Amino acid sequence: MIRDFSVGPIGENVYLVERYGQALAIIDPGDEADRIVAEAQLSMQRIGTQEILVICTHGHLDHVSALPEVVDSLRAQGYTLTVYAPQGDSAYFGPPAEATNRRVFADIRASAYFSKHWKPIPLPDVWYGNGFRFPGTDLYALHTPGHTPGSSCIVAEGGSAVLSGDTLFRDGRGRTDNHDSDERALVRSIRETLCVLPDATRVWPGHGESTSIGREKNYYL
């Protein structure tokens, strides 16, 4: 089961992937840490787990700003928690994170957002790449660069759903007006990695409403 809710001033979608007997996955903790923690606690009660995976599809601040608070809160409550981030976005985590995100939000004339929401972003426990399978779940990663170098999508629900981050939206795709983005790479990622998935695959994007591969591939093929 995929549960979703929107957080923050620009409507970033947080996803909780629940499956009985598996670890809980929190995808893209972008804002409102207290709410994410509360929702995660409800999920863990439902599926009977003490293990949590926090998975970042990419490193932009609107997708990770709640990460430090969520991690600290859940670990303090005794849960086993592992943070995963894409290797290609290593500049967005740890010591380089502030300078990288500051530049990104300056590029899109949103420095005020950066100033209000910046928090030091920790290094992940594990870097992941294309094809990585997340332990204790049936989730795996697809590297879909373009929005950022490491942007990735997470395949879930036995392959019937994909959490697409800021790669693919309903009627659109991620922006590519940042210093490390690449429009050609993004379109290629969608065409060659996402559009080959079954038409019925549900797409759960980083912003906005859900859609399907069959609906969106008409724009790209």
Q: What are the φ and ψ backbone dihedral angles of 103, each rounded to 5 degrees?
A: -65, -40
So what's the pLDDT on residue 21? Answer: 87
- The CA-CA-CA angle for residues 41, 42, 45, to 5°, reads 85
What is the CB-side half-sphere exposure of residue 179 using CA atoms within 13 A?
13
Residue by residue, pLDDT tens for the chain (221 residues) are: 999 999 999 999 999 999 988 999 999 999 999 999 999 999 999 999 999 999 999 999 999 999 999 999 999 999 999 999 999 999 999 999 999 999 999 999 999 999 999 999 999 999 999 999 999 999 999 999 999 999 999 999 999 999 999 999 999 999 999 999 999 999 999 999 999 999 999 999 999 999 999 999 999 98
How many structural domains does the chain have? 1
Rounded to the nearest angstrom, the gap between the alpha carbon of residue 141 and the centroid of all alpha carbons in its chain is 11
Domain housing 127: 2-219
DSSP code per residue over 10-37? TTEEEEEE--TTS-EEEE---S-HHHHH
**Which pLDDT does position 158 carry in this prediction?**
94
CATH of the domain at 161: 3.60.15.10
pLDDT at 77: 94
User: In the prediction, which pLDDT does 40 show?
Assistant: 97
